[in-house]
């Protein structure tokens, strides 16, 4: 699999007993059999273009004959940096077609066709196949071409440039390039649940263009370039940018739902989303089996390693997982339109459906998260629970020689009364928009209050009847209460 700024594969072929003109004649016939189109030809070779498919763009096929050696090369023209062995297969297909033509053509026929080809060439014009080799300066220019939008590599460089530009602007604005402050990140649009809960939904997308330090930026941009050169030529511009933005939102939603007070930023959620899209496509037959197997291994290792690395502190793995899952969904949703490139409306419908799905998902997640006002209200009202609990437990502070009437009063009119007040308080807190774990804790607290009431009712009977027959039941309930209290620690 060729990898480079412009992937290329070439082989040299000795002419053996053939003359340069005869070799060129057979090569021209081979290209015709492959249904490739020649758009330039001279006495020293030709430049042709291979055919395209739903996934693969065409390649430039170049044959140059010098002395007793011919060089056949295939070079990508679609803006991709990884060719999935496409160029090597083009060269192999040419060589196979060349051998077939050479075996079938008779000497007389070869002589006639060689003369016809010779007569068709303009030998007085300059030969474009004899230009100087690429200079070092040109190679540097080719590197920087990674940041210039091209036909099949359009939005990837735009996204990279935009992320870099925003980081530079943040640095100019006073942000530390290694560890910007939380305040600066918030001001520039980082994701933060309390602010999302009060309506600042734009943070779900703006945080995808911010980075927490230059190393964070460099790692993410490298990963974006890598997956972009693989994926954008396959998806096309519109599907690629839609996938990036939608998986970015999906990653932000997962982070918002999971983290209560964490400030998050970075393109990694959207990048994981693109890897998710790519993994989905790799499980289909859109990519050749041999290439699919190789890429599944490398992409799979990358994803698993980064998710495992994300288990350590300071990394938003919720965003990574959210992006990956949303990417898988989007990848499978786009597959029908990739199978039928002659139906552009199918791609438009797929993107529209995904946008609607993400809109409803956003609504559901945002509605499920608590807002700051609800948490503040809860904390204030829960203080009364603690006060009532303390008063309900005053019965255990009575002296051993306390009067029977005082003990009964303390159990029924204060103890049981305050436990019931706490149950009513917990019922009222259910009206607030609270996180699931808080609701679960309140449910357990209500069970705790009911156990206390059962114990107090048995204690009241024991004191009123001056009996020990309830001791075993009271001890059993107290053991349950003790176990429940440990679960709160």
Choose among 56, 60, 95, 55: nearest CA to 76: 60
| Strand partners of residue 66 | 69
pLDDT tens across 338-388, in order?
998 888 899 899 999 999 999 999 888 888 876 666 767 888 889 999 999
Segment among 132-136, 338-342, 444-448 with least mean pLDDT:
132-136
For the chain, what's the residue count?
489
Q: Do 181 and 270 fall within a single domain? A: yes
Residue 18 lies inside a defined structural domain of this protein = yes
The sign of the dihedral angle between the CA atoms of 408, 413, 415, 417 is positive
Q: Do 383 and 471 fall within a single domain? A: yes
Residue 354 lies inside a defined structural domain of this protein = no
Residue 365 lies inside a defined structural domain of this protein = no
What are the φ/ψ torsions at residue 376 (nearest 5 degrees)?
A: -65, -45
pLDDT at 1 over 50: no
Would you state the structure tokens that stand for residue 319, as one six-digit string?
Answer: 């965003």
Give the helix, strand, coil percentages of the chain, each rounded to 5: 65, 10, 25
Q: Do 274 and 247 fall within a single domain? A: yes
Could you write out the DSSP letters of every residue in 82-131?
B-TTHHHHHHHHHHHHHHHHHHH--HHHHHHHHHHHHHHS-TTS--GGGP
Q: Mean per-residue pLDDT for 429-441?
A: 79
- How many structural domains compose the chain? 3
* Average per-residue pLDDT for the chain: 87
Q: Do 276 and 150 fall within a single domain? A: yes
Q: Mean per-residue pLDDT for 199-215?
A: 93
Choose among 170, 165, 162: nearest CA to 186: 170
pLDDT tens across 252-308, in order?
999 998 887 788 999 999 999 999 999 999 888 887 776 777 677 778 877 888 788
Q: Do 198 and 249 fall within a single domain? A: yes
Residue 343 lies inside a defined structural domain of this protein = no
pLDDT tens across 6-53, in order?
678 999 999 999 999 999 999 999 999 999 999 899 999 999 988 765
Q: Do 94 and 18 fall within a single domain? A: yes
CA 306 to chain centre: 12
Q: List residues with catalytic annotation.
A: 268, 320
pLDDT at 2 over 50: no
Q: Do 322 and 193 fall within a single domain? A: yes
Put simply, whether the predicted model's pTM sits higher than 0.85 gets the answer: no
Strand arrangement, sheet containing 69-76: 8-14, 69-76, 59-66, 45-49, 37-42
Residue 364 lies inside a defined structural domain of this protein = no
Question: Residue 123 is part of a domain; what is its CATH number?
Answer: 3.30.310.80
pLDDT at 197 over 50: yes
207 in the Ramachandran plot: left (φ > 0), alpha (ψ -120 to 50) or beta?
alpha
Last residue of a domain, one of 84, 102, 131: 131
Q: Give the per-residue pLDDT at 333.
A: 95
Q: Give the per-residue pLDDT at 131.
A: 63
Q: Which carries the bigger pLDDT value, residue 294 or residue 247?
A: 247
Per-residue buried b or exposed e for 7-38, using 16+ beta carbons within 10 Å of the residue's own CB: bbbeeebeeeebebbbbbbbbbbbbeebebee
Residue 185 lies inside a defined structural domain of this protein = yes
Q: How far apart are CA 241 and CA 236, in angstroms?
A: 9
Q: Do 295 and 382 fall within a single domain? A: no
Q: Do 389 and 445 fall within a single domain? A: yes
Q: Do 242 and 281 fall within a single domain? A: yes
Last residue of a domain, one of 105, 131, 157: 131
Question: Residue 255 is part of a domain; what is its CATH number?
Answer: 1.20.1540.10
Q: What is the 3-state secondary structure (H, E, C) of 138-169?
A: HHHHHHHHHHCCCCCCCHHHHHHHHHHHHHHH
Residue 279 lies inside a defined structural domain of this protein = yes
Last residue of a domain, one of 311, 337, 363: 337
Q: Give the per-residue pLDDT at 3.
A: 41
Q: What share of the chain has pLDDT > 70, as a percent?
A: 90
User: Which of helix, strand or coil describes residue 23?
Assistant: helix
Structural domain of 176: 142-337
Residue at token pair 């890429």: 295
Residue 13 lies inside a defined structural domain of this protein = yes
Q: Do 102 and 166 fall within a single domain? A: no
Q: Do 169 and 98 fall within a single domain? A: no
Would you state the structure tokens that stand for residue 63, as one six-digit string?
Answer: 């044959």
């Amino acid at each position: 699999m060729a990898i480079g700024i412009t992937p290329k594969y070439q082989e040299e072929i000795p002419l053996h007993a053939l003359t340069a003109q005869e070799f060129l004649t057979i090569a021209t016939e081979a290209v015709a059999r492959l249904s490739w189109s020649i758009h330039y030809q001279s006495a020293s070779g030709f430049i042709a273009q291979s055919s395209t498919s739903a996934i693969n763009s065409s390649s430039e096929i170049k044959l140059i004959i010098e002395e007793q050696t011919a060089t056949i090369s295939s070079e990508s023209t679609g803006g991709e940096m990884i060719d999935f062995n496409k160029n090597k297969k083009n060269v192999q297909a040419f060589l196979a077609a060349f051998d077939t033509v050479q075996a079938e053509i008779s000497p007389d026929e070869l002589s006639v066709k060689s003369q016809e080809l010779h007569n068709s060439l303009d030998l007085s014009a300059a030969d474009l196949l004899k230009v100087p080799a690429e200079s070092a300066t040109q190679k540097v220019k080719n590197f920087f071409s990674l940041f210039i939008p091209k036909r099949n590599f359009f939005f990837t460089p735009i996204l990279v440039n935009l992320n870099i530009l925003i980081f530079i602007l943040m640095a100019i604005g006073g942000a530390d390039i290694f560890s910007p402050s939380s305040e600066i990140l918030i001001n520039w649009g980082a994701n933060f649940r309390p602010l999302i809960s009060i309506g600042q939904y734009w943070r779900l997308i703006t945080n995808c263009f911010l980075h927490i330090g230059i190393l964070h930026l460099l790692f993410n941009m490298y990963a974006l370039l890598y997956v972009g050169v693989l994926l954008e030529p396959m998806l096309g511009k519109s599907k690629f940018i839609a996938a990036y933005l939608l998986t970015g939102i999906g990653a932000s939603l997962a982070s918002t739902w999971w983290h209560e007070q964490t400030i998050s930023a970075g393109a990694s959620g959207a990048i994981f989303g693109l890897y998710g899209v790519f993994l989905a496509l790799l499980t289909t037959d859109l990519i050749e089996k041999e290439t699919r197997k190789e890429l599944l291994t490398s992409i799979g290792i990358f994803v698993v390693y980064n998710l495992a690395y994300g288990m350590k502190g300071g990394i938003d793995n919720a965003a990574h997982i959210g992006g990956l899952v949303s990417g898988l969904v989007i990848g499978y949703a786009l597959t029908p339109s990739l199978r039928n490139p002659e139906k552009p409306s199918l791609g438009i419908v797929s993107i529209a459906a995904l946008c609607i799905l993400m809109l409803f998902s956003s609504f559901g997640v945002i509605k499920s998260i608590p807002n700051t006002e609800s948490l503040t209200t809860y904390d204030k009202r829960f203080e009364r629970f603690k006060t009532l609990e303390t008063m309900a437990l005053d019965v255990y502070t009575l002296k051993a020689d306390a009067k029977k009437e005082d003990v009964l009063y303390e159990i029924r009119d204060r103890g049981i009364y305050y436990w019931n007040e706490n149950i009513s308080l917990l019922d009222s807190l259910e009206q607030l928009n609270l996180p699931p774990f808080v609701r679960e804790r309140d449910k357990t607290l209500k069970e705790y209050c009911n156990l206390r009431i059962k114990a107090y009712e048995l204690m009241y009977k024991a004191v009123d009847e001056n009996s020990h027959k309830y001791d075993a039941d009271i001890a059993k309930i107290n053991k349950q209460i003790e176990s429940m209290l440990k679960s709160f620690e």
